[in-house]
Structure 1
Amino acid sequence: MESAIFTAVEQNNYNVVGVMSGTSLDGIDLAHVNFTFSEGWNYKILTAETVPYPESWQKILAEAVSYDDGRLKQLDKDYTRFLAEVISEFLSKNSIFDTHAICSHGHTIKHEPEKGYTLQIGNLPELAKLLNRKVICNFRVQDVELGGQGAPLVPIGDELLFPEYDYCLNLGGFANISTNPKGERLAYDICAVNTVLNSLAQKLGKPYDKNGKLAASGELNKELLEELQKIPFYGLRPPKSLGIEWVNKYIFPLFERYDAVPSLLRTYTEHAAEVIANEFRNSSGEKVLVTGGGAFNRFLIEEIRRRTQTAVVIPSAEVVNYKEALIFAFLGVLKMRGENNVLSSVTGASKDHSSGVIFQP
Structure 2
Amino acid sequence: MPDQAIVIGIGSYPTFGANGASPNSLPGAVQDAEDVAEWLHRNTPAAVTLITSTHCNGAPWTVTNLLAARPVTSDVDTAFKPYVTSTAPKVGDRLYVYTAGHGLAPDPRSRCLIMADAMGINWVPNLEIPAWFDWFANQSHFDELILWMDCCGTQALEYARTKPAGLANTASRPPPPAKVFMAFASGFGRSSYEGPIGPGGMMRGLFTDRLLKGLNGAAADASGEVRSKSLANFLRNGGLNGAGGEAQFAAVPQEDDMLFAIRAHPIYRIRAMRPDGALVPDGTVLELTNPFVPLLKTAQADQGWVSFAVGVGLYKLSGGGVDRLIEIGATTPVDIE
Bin of the TM-score, shorter chain as denominator length: under 0.3
Q: 1 or 2, which has the higher helix percentage?
A: 1
TM, length-normalised to structure 1: 0.23
TM, length-normalised to structure 2: 0.24
Q: 1 or 2, which has the higher strand percentage?
A: 2
Question: Highest relative contact order (Cα 8 Å, sep 6+), 1 or 2?
Answer: 1
